[in-house]
Amino acid sequence: MAAGGLRELLLRYDGRADQPLIAEVPAATDTSPDRISGNELSSMLVSLPVHVGDALERVRLAGAATRMAKENQKLLGPSTIEHWLQYVPPIAEQATFRWISRRRAPNPLINVIVSNVAGPRHRGRIAGAVVTEIYSVGPVAAGVALNMTVWSYADQLNISVLADDQTLKDTHEATDAMIRAFADIRSAAGFPATLSDVATAMPQGIPLG
């Protein structure tokens, strides 16, 4: 869905989608059920086949790229990058990120952040009030203008897209394109392309300026 949606946006705004995009996919390294706060993360680099027009071929290539990224992470060690970063002096790290944020240029390593987060299977409460919906927030990194994150929560699935205002005026452009990409995949797989509204679906979020 991400590859198909991004392909549509690239064709609309650039007039071409002739090479893959590189997605950074954050991956948790601490999956202990006892962890109640904080994150311990590594990341994988996955090639998104936005250059491929056939929906099922995009699915096949995205699956193959993801399996390769998981294998590479396994061979490297899921916590190796995290351990390396502990040796980077904070002053150097801050200076590097400041320099990157001032550059009006794409990130040379990645183009987009794509993530999925498995949320609670049961509805939670805060101060006695039932949490009915979860909406994602996350970083828009320097030179990487899009963050696409999927959250699950109880019986819901939420697709959140974050972007800067120079890339998209309305992030619903991306989510609508992903919905159309999902319909294309269904159609190519022999299922009806028409999607039905679900009564329990989360309401569409309002873009923040």
Mean pLDDT of 40-56: 89
Q: Residue 83: inside a domain, yes or no? A: yes
Segments forming the whole domain that contains residue 174: 2-108+169-188
* Residue of 124 and 95 predicted with greater confidence: 124
Where are the extended beta strands (E) located within 29-68?
41-48
pLDDT digits (tens, 9 = 90+) for 102-128: 666 566 678 899 988 888 888 989 999
Would you give the DSSP letter of residue 5? H
Q: Residue 184: inside a domain, yes or no? A: yes
Mean pLDDT of 137-141: 74
Q: What single string gives the DSSP state of each residue in 158-203?
A: EEEEEE-TTT-S-THHHHHHHHHHHHHHHHHTTS--PPPP-TTPPP
Task: Give the least confident one: 27-36, 48-57, 71-80.
Answer: 27-36
Q: Residue 158: inside a domain, yes or no? A: no
Model pLDDT, residue 67:
93
Q: Residue 150: inside a domain, yes or no? A: no
Q: Residue 178: inside a domain, yes or no? A: yes
Model pLDDT, residue 102:
64
Dist CA 19 CA 61 (whole Å): 13
Task: Please count the structural domains in the chain.
Answer: 1
Q: Residue 40: inside a domain, yes or no? A: yes
Confidence of residue 182 (pLDDT cuts 50, 70, 90): very high
Q: Residue 130: inside a domain, yes or no? A: no
Q: Residue 144: inside a domain, yes or no? A: no
Mean pLDDT of 145-173: 87
Confidence of residue 160 (pLDDT cuts 50, 70, 90): confident
